[in-house]
A and B are shown apart, each in its own frame.
Chain A
Amino acid sequence: METPMYQSNHRKIALGLSLIPGFGQLYNRQYVKGISFFILAASFLIVFKDLLNMGWWGIFTLGEVVGRDHSIFLLVEGILAVIISVFGLGFYAFNLRDAYKNGQKRDLGLKISSLREQYRALVDNGFPYLMISPGFILLVFVVIFPIIFVVLLAFTNYDLYHSPPAKLVDWVGFQNFIDLVKLDLWRKTFVNVLAWTIVWTFGATTLQIALGIFLAIIVNQKDLKGKAIIRTIFILPWAVPAFVTILVFSGMFNESFGVINKTILASLGIGPIEWMTDPFWTKVALILIQTWLGFPFVFAMTTGVLQAIPNELYEAATVDGASSWQKFTKITLPLVLYATAPILITQYTFNFNNFNIIYLFNGGGPAVSGQNAGATDILISWIYRLTMTSAQYSKAAAITLLLSLVVVSVALWQFRRTKSFKEEDMM
Chain B
Amino acid sequence: MDMKRQKLIRLTLSYAVILVMTIIIVYPLLWVVGSSFNPGQSLSGSKMIPDNATLAHYKKLFDTSQSDYLTWYWNSLKISTLTMIFSVILVSLTAYSFSRYRFIGRQNGLLTFLILQMIPNFAALIAIFILALLTGLVDTHLGLILVYVGGAIPMNTWLMKGYLDTIPKELDESAKIDGAGHLRIFFQIVLPLAKPIIAVVALFTFIAPFGDFILASVLLRSKEKYTLAVGLYDLVAKQFGSEFTTFAAGSVLIAVPIAILFLSFQKYFVSGLTAGGTKG
Q: Is A139 an interface residue (CB 8 A)?
A: yes
Give residues 383-400 of A contacting B (CB, 8 Å). 383-384, 387-388, 393, 396-397, 400
Contact with B along A127-145 (1 / 0, CB 8 A): 1110110111011011111
Q: Is the CB of A132 within 8 A of B93?
A: yes
Residues of B within 8 A of A235 (CB): 262-263, 266
* Stretch from A11-19, A178-186, A326-334, A407-415 that touches the partner: A407-415
Number of A-B contacts (CB under 8 A): 265
Q: Is A61 an interface residue (CB 8 A)?
A: no
**Shortest CB distance B144–A (Å):** 10
Q: Is the CB of A132 within 8 A of B97?
A: yes
Query: How many interface residues does A have (CB within 8 Å)?
Result: 94
Q: Is the CB of B96 within 8 A of A135?
A: no
Q: List 18 A-B pairs, Cβ < 8 Å.
A: A132-B97, A135-B91, A139-B154, A143-B116, A145-B127, A150-B123, A153-B127, A232-B263, A235-B266, A236-B259, A239-B263, A251-B43, A252-B31, A258-B43, A400-B123, A400-B125, A418-B278, A427-B107
Q: Is B118 an interface residue (CB 8 A)?
A: yes
Known contacts A146-B127, A235-B266; decide if A251 and B14 are in contact (CB<8 Å): no
Residues of B within 8 A of A132 (CB): 93-94, 97-98, 109
**Shortest CB distance B89–A (Å):** 8
Q: Is B247 an interface residue (CB 8 A)?
A: yes
Residues of A within 8 A of B232 (CB): 243-244, 247
Closest B residue to A356 by beta carbon equals: B213
Residues of A within 8 A of B101 (CB): 127-128
**Shortest CB distance A71–B (Å):** 11
Contact of A131 among B26, B93, B127, B129 (CB under 8 A): B93
Known contacts A248-B32, A292-B25, A418-B278; decide if A72 and B123 are in contact (CB<8 Å): no
Q: How far is the CA of A349 from the CA of B115 in the complex (A)?
A: 13
Q: Is B149 an interface residue (CB 8 A)?
A: yes
Q: How far is the CA of A403 from the CA of B103 in the complex (A)?
A: 33
Q: Is B37 an interface residue (CB 8 A)?
A: no
* Stretch from A1-9, A38-46, A102-110, A219-227 that touches the partner: A219-227
Q: Is A343 an interface residue (CB 8 A)?
A: yes
Closest A residue to B110 by beta carbon equals: A427
Residues of A within 8 A of B96 (CB): 131
Q: How far is the CA of A240 from the CA of B207 in the complex (A)?
A: 11
* Stretch from B53-61, B64-72, B194-202, B267-275 that touches the partner: B267-275
Q: Is the CB of A387 within 8 A of B129?
A: yes
Residues of B within 8 A of A (CB): 7, 10-11, 14-15, 17-18, 21-22, 24-26, 28-29, 31-32, 35, 42-44, 90-91, 93-94, 96-98, 100-101, 103, 106-107, 109-111, 114-116, 118-131, 134, 146-147, 149-151, 153-154, 157, 162, 165, 182, 207, 210-211, 213-214, 218, 229, 232-233, 236, 240-241, 244, 247-248, 251, 254-255, 258-259, 262-263, 266, 269-271, 273-274, 277-280
Q: Is A92 an interface residue (CB 8 A)?
A: no
Q: Is the CB of B124 within 8 A of A146?
A: yes
Q: Is the CB of A238 within 8 A of B18?
A: no
Q: Is A196 an interface residue (CB 8 A)?
A: no
Q: Is the CB of B123 within 8 A of A404?
A: yes
Q: Which 6 A-B pairs have the closest CB atoms?
A: A142-B150, A146-B127, A146-B124, A411-B118, A128-B101, A149-B127
Interface centre among B93, B100, B154, B207 (most CB of A within 10 A): B93
Q: Is A342 an interface residue (CB 8 A)?
A: yes
Q: Is A317 an interface residue (CB 8 A)?
A: no
Q: Is the CB of A234 within 8 A of B25?
A: yes
Residues of A within 8 A of B255 (CB): 240-241, 244
Q: Is the CB of B125 within 8 A of A384?
A: yes
Q: Is the contact region of chain B dominated by helix, strand, or loop, or is it mixed?
A: helix
Interface centre among B35, B248, B273 (most CB of A within 10 A): B273
Q: Is A359 an interface residue (CB 8 A)?
A: yes
Give residues 47-93 of A contacting B (CB, 8 Å). 72-73, 76
Known contacts A143-B150, A248-B31, A356-B213; decide if A343 and B18 are in contact (CB<8 Å): no
Q: Is A272 an interface residue (CB 8 A)?
A: no
Q: Is the CB of B42 within 8 A of A257?
A: yes
Q: Is the CB of A146 within 8 A of B94?
A: no
Residues of B within 8 A of A143 (CB): 116, 121, 124, 150-151, 153-154
Q: Is the CB of A218 within 8 A of B131?
A: no
Q: How far is the CA of A307 from the CA of B230 in the complex (A)?
A: 40
Closest B residue to A75 by beta carbon equals: B130
Q: Is A230 an interface residue (CB 8 A)?
A: yes
**Shortest CB distance A20–B (Å):** 25
Additional A-B contact list (15), CB under 8 Å, known A72-B130, A135-B157: A73-B134, A128-B100, A139-B116, A142-B121, A143-B121, A147-B127, A149-B126, A218-B17, A240-B259, A247-B247, A248-B28, A349-B118, A356-B214, A396-B125, A415-B114
Q: How far is the CA of A396 from the CA of B126 in the complex (A)?
A: 8
Q: Is A380 an interface residue (CB 8 A)?
A: yes
Q: Is the CB of B149 within 8 A of A138?
A: yes
Q: Is A277 an interface residue (CB 8 A)?
A: no
Q: How far is the CA of A240 from the CA of B90 in the complex (A)?
A: 28
Q: Is the CB of A76 within 8 A of B134?
A: yes
Q: Is the CB of B278 within 8 A of A129?
A: no
Q: Is the CB of A251 within 8 A of B118?
A: no
